[in-house]
Amino acid sequence: MELGAVLEAVDGCSAAAGGVGVGVGIAAAEAAERALLRYNEENRAIFRFDPADEDKRKKLCEGILNILEKDTKTSCQTACLEALRILSRDKKVLVPVTTKRNMQILMRLAKLDTVEDPLERVSEFPVIVEALKCLCNIIFNSAVAQKLSLELNLAAMLCNLLKKCKDQQLAGDIKCFDLRLLFLLSLLHTDIRSQLRQELQGVQVLTQALESSLNVRWTGEYKTVEDRNRPPLSLQETNCAVEALKALFNVTLDSWNVHSKNESHQFRYMAAILRYCLLTTGPTEDKTEELHSNAINLLSNIPVSCLDVLISPSSQEETDIKYNGMNMGAIQILLDFMEKRIDKGSSYREGLTPVLSLLTECCRTHRNIRKFIKAQVLPPLRDVSSRPEVGTTVRNKLVRLMTHVDLGVKQIAAEFLFVLCKERVDSLLKYTGYGNAAGLLAARGLLAGGRGDHWYSDDEDTDTEEYKSAKPNINLITGHLEEPMPNPMDEMTEEQKEYEAMKLVNMFDKLSRLLVLRPVHEATDTQEG
């Protein structure tokens, strides 16, 4: 449909209305609604717009907001908001939209200006959802809107709306876009991030939203119900959980230090929910990976002292993945996720380093986690006939990363293996070879051997009989077994040996005359002089 025709219908509807609060003419409203519905259908997938029509699109935005300011029926409001959402993908047309008055119109339609009123009229839910979608686009694309959102206290209103969604089963879409808007605000505006954390109890509000999205059930403090037969999350539940995880990540960015007992409880509670999240699947493999990826990012913000709740005393009914009587199901998920990201072979910095960093810190702090992971990643060596970086085991894949071109990836892979070896140089070299470990050891000042600064338990590794028998012939640089090289002099005659010896003498004589080599006492005299 021609943009001019849509604009004409919308202008006609605006002209038919009186002042603020006066209803729009029925016939004009219906004509505008039909025109907008057709426009929406034709442009639903449009993200690039014709620059020649920029002024018309600006006027269309203004006309739509004029209609939304009046009393119109729900279907007309929905059509107007959907058209505004499509138009707001274009940053250049947002100047007339990003005013305090227009932001307040959208906030009213999103039910953000009503503190006490519950969400009861289900017929209004599509309008609320579309208004939230418009706000998401506008705030994402406009710095002016981001500043206005702080002035209008939008974050507080979103937290209040989120609480209203808690007991409303049909408000899933509202909750999802409420969470997305909180994520965008906390991403784009640091002041709002601080407001959420300090004034609005944002961590608690968002954690509760995550808990309800995952349908978490509890058996005790920090311990959730484990049902291996529970069905996957729905797409809507997964999307809500992902948005909550992303918003929580922004709000907890500076949470490494726990200063109070209450903070410690809050983070342990969150870690227990995230453990449940790791053991949960989404409707598809890709959505499950997205869910787990965001859970891992958030776990990286939680103080490592609070991550002990990722493992717990286990019964046989819960899981078959145990170590020292502890349930290691969540840790196994992290290991599987790490290996899957390695196998992807790309985007290591964004996709792999968060989970590697998380596992490294868990292993450095929690002994049972470290010992379980080491048994998986660095099992006792038996076959040392191949180089450590050659093969398909997790160890082989991680050793290959130790020489990756990306410095950050190389460092975290080496650090992970070093921590698994309790920061002992001799143990690391046994599993990786000196050549692969040289970068880490040089950075840590450990090329001559020794161990790192962190203290670990005194339990020692035991070498297999196969490794002990092969050890004398292992090349320390390459880290694998090499057959003894034949002595080239064995097949020489005495004359050939004498000839080679004289060649060597002549070479030393030449180097000495060129002052490349000097006797020790001469070099010492020169330094003292």
Query: What pLDDT score does 20 carry?
Result: 44
**Can you give the pLDDT at residue 58?**
92
Judging by beta carbons within 10 Å of its beta carbon (0-12, 13-18, 19+), is residue 47 exposed, middle or buried? exposed
Written as six digits, the tokens of 219 are 């058996």
Integer Cα distance of 177 and 209 in angstroms: 12
**DSSP classification of residue 239:** H
Residue 401 to residue 398: CA distance in whole angstroms: 5
179, 187 Cβ separation under 8 angstroms: no
Instruction: Grade residue 381 by pLDDT with cuts at 50, 70 and 90.
Output: confident
Higher pLDDT, 70 or 309: 309
Catalogue the E-assigned strands of 212-366: 218-220, 223-224, 312-313, 322-323, 326-327
Residues 6+ apart with CB under 8 A from 385: 480, 481
What does the pLDDT average to over 369-380? 93
Above 70 in pLDDT, residue 251? Answer: yes
Q: Which amino acid is at 423?
A: E
Q: At what angle do helices 353-365 and 367-377 cross, to 10 degrees?
A: 120
3-state secondary structure of 425: helix
Share of the chain above pLDDT 90, in %: 53
Residue 472 Cα distances to 384, 465, 484, 487, 488, angstroms = 12, 13, 10, 17, 21
Taking residues 72-85, what's their average pLDDT? 93
- SS3 state at 419: helix
pLDDT of 398 reads 96
Tell me the DSSP string of 127-185: HHHHHHHHHHHHHHH-HHHHHHHHHTTHHHHHHHHHHHHTT-TT-HHHHHHHHHHHHHH
Q: 480-481 and 223-224 as β-strands: parallel, antiparallel, unpaired?
A: unpaired
Residue 269 CA to residue 223 CA, distance in Å, equals 9
Q: Among 116-125, 335-344, 475-484, which stretch is predicted with the lowest mean pLDDT?
A: 475-484
pLDDT in tens, 350-363: 999 999 999 999 99
Give the span between the Cα atoms of 463 and 381, in whole angstroms: 7
Mean pLDDT, range 7-14, rounded to an integer: 82
Phi/psi for 424 (5° steps) reads: -100, 125
3-state secondary structure 107-121: HHHCCCCCCCCCCCC
Which among 277, 267, 193, 217 is positioned nearest to 241, based on CA atoms? 277
- On the question of pLDDT at 170 being above 60, the answer is yes
Are 332 and 322 in contact by the 8 Å Cβ rule? The answer is no
> Which backbone phi and psi does 53 adopt, to 5 degrees?
-100, 15
The reported pLDDT for the residue numbered 22 is 47
- Distance set, CA 106 to CA 124, 172, 219, 258, 451 (Å): 14, 19, 42, 39, 61
Interaxial angle between packed helices 143-151 and 125-141, expressed in degrees from 0 to 180 and rounded to the nearest 10? 120
How many residues would you count in the chain?
Answer: 529
- What is the pLDDT at residue 273? 96
